[in-house]
Amino acid sequence: MPKVAIYPGSFDPVTNGHIDIIERGLKLFDKIIVSILYNPNKKYLFSLEERLEMLRDCTKHFKNIEIDSFDGLLVDYAASRKAHAILRGLRAMSDFEYEFQMALMNRRLNRDVQTVFLMTGLRWIFTSSSIIKEAVQFGGNIEGMVPPLVKKKLKAKFAPAVGRGRSRKN
Ligand code: PNS
């Protein structure tokens, strides 16, 4: 039976850290379904459609990958897609508590689905969608942290950028 993993997340937007996890995950699994959580109660910078489009574009060079979205419980979605693993990336220690809690809850909800963590590459250790959005918002250079299309889309979202790090007294 092919080994299928779900790589779930918000991907708001996808970063090079996510791409690194997908690339390395593909060495472990026959297929990875990268799936965006649809959560109407949460505010995102990019719409679900925009996030799907960016993910599709940035992963088109990979084989054995599918881009999808889901709602409800992740383990139910994993079972419906016949996946036995959930793939998550771990960066700094700060990720650990949340990931540990989520993995244990998911295990309690469905013991047939295993969570597999991949340690992020050292160069992506402090890369997160949130910190990148904040940097771009204030005109910071995020070259090399996100795929080129994402960089373009982020710039368009925040143009014209507010504030340039000057004292507000002047
Ligand atoms: O990229 P994120 O925001 O850290 O991803 C979080 C995600 C989507 C993996 C998580 O919120 C999730 O799985 N949500 C679906 C609901 C669920 O099954 N929660 C875990 C058990 S309560």
User: Strand (E) positions, the chain?
Assistant: 4-9, 31-37, 65-70, 85-90, 114-119
Ligand 1 atom, smallest distance to 106 CA: 21
Catalytically annotated residue among 24, 56, 91, 107: 91
In Å, the largest CA–CA distance within the chain is 66
Q: Predicted confidence band at 93 (pLDDT cuts at 50, 70, 90)?
A: confident
Catalytically annotated residue among 88, 128, 129, 153: 129
pLDDT at 170: 63
Please tell me the distance between residue 166's alpha carbon and the centre of ligand 1 in angstroms. 38
The SS3 call for residue 6 is strand
Distances (CA, A) of 150 to 3, 95, 146, 153: 30, 23, 6, 5
Catalytically annotated residue among 18, 51, 88, 153: 18
140 pLDDT above the threshold of 80: yes
CA distance 77 to 12: 20
- The whole model's pTM is what? 0.94
Q: Predicted confidence band at 160 (pLDDT cuts at 50, 70, 90)?
A: low
- Atom 1 in ligand 1: residue holding the nearest Cα: 9
Mean pLDDT calculated for residue range 50-76: 98
The amino acid that residue 160 corresponds to is P
pLDDT at 48: 98
Mean pLDDT calculated for residue range 104-125: 96
61 is catalytic: no
Summary mean pLDDT of the chain: 94
Distances (CA, A) of 24 to 50, 82, 117: 25, 21, 11
166 pLDDT above the threshold of 90: no
| Residue to mutate (ligand 1; options 6, 7, 10; most atoms within 8 A of CB) | 10
- 28 CB-side CA count, 13 A: 17
164 pLDDT above the threshold of 90: no
60 pLDDT above the threshold of 60: yes
CA distance 64 to 59: 10
Enumerate residues lining ligand 1, CB below 6 A.
8-10, 37, 73-74, 102, 105-106
